[in-house]
A and B are shown apart, each in its own frame.
Chain A
Amino acid sequence: EDKVVQSPLSLVVHEGDTVTLNCSYEVTNFRSLLWYKQEKKAPTFLFMLTSSGIEKKSGRLSSILDKKELFSILNITATQTGDSAVYLCAPEYSGGSNYKLTFGKGTLLTVNP
């Protein structure tokens, strides 16, 4: 049973479009939710969300968390071809003596010129 569900699994848009990526999760002892961008190798960190309703922004990217509905979205405005990547969300939760991340399957975003 998946703890983390991302949608859509893939998305193809044109440069300049706005996209919304979704992440729902179901974990116990939740601490935070993280978004990562993965191009060829290492996932690179985008956002960490710990509080509901507070939007975090970084340039054209923004993200918000709803801890009541166990849901997060990642928005990208005015998309560029360099935004093409897999976007992974990962709730951080207690795994016994430590916290751990469980990644969703990711959304493959393709931005065409």
Chain B
Amino acid sequence: DTEVTQTPKHLVMGMTNKKSLKCEQHMGHRAMYWYKQKAKKPPELMFVYSYEKLSINESVPSRFSPECPNSSLLNLHLHALQPEDSALYLCASSRLGMNTEAFFGQGTRLTVV
């Protein structure tokens, strides 16, 4: 199994809603990542989890709240988002240590209305 699975694939939410994005991998990877990708732009790193602990937060607004409940799951809780937060949200995972590539999920296409 070399898949990173993200749900939902598409999400439309209002600015007052609370929703969560989910990411799952069963490759035994102990590093997991959230990226945000706007149209025609490269992915931008948001958060890195290492051994289920948050190790990097790239100054992401608090309306995005990550959670890593166990080594296979990564969530991104969303609250009071703005229309400019509409983007493709990509989850990735990798082994820790040398010579490890990151595997990406198919992403959640988020639209904030």
Given A48-B99, A97-B50, are A41 and B106 also a contact pair (CB < 8 Å)? yes
Q: Which of B43, B90, B105 counts the most A-chain CB atoms under 10 A from its CB?
A: B43
Q: Does B103 contact A (CB under 8 A)?
A: yes
The residue on B at minimum CB distance from A105 is B42
What's the Cα separation between A42 and B93 when bound, in Å?
12
Interchain CB contact under 8 A, B50 and A103: no
Does A98 make an interface contact (CB < 8 A)?
A: yes
A34's nearest neighbour on chain B, judged by CB, is B101
Measured CB to CB, the nearest residue on chain A to B44 is: A103
Q: Name the residue on A nearest B42 (C-beta).
A: A103
Asked if B66 CB lies within 8 Å of chain A CBs, one says no
Count how many pairs of residues, one from A and one from B, have CB atoms less than 8 Å apart in the complex.
53
When the two chains form their complex, are residues A97 and B42 in contact, meaning their CB atoms are under 8 A apart? Answer: no
Within 8 A of A (CB), among B74-113: 88, 90, 98-99, 101-107
Q: Is B99 a contact partner of A32 (Cβ separation < 8 A)?
A: yes
For B109, the closest partner residue in chain A by CB is A41
User: Which residues of A are found within 8 Å of B88, using beta-carbon distances?
Assistant: 41
Measured CB to CB, the nearest residue on chain A to B50 is: A98
B12 on the interface (CB 8 Å rule)? no
A8 within 8 A of B: no
CB neighbours of A43 from chain B (8 A): 43, 90, 104
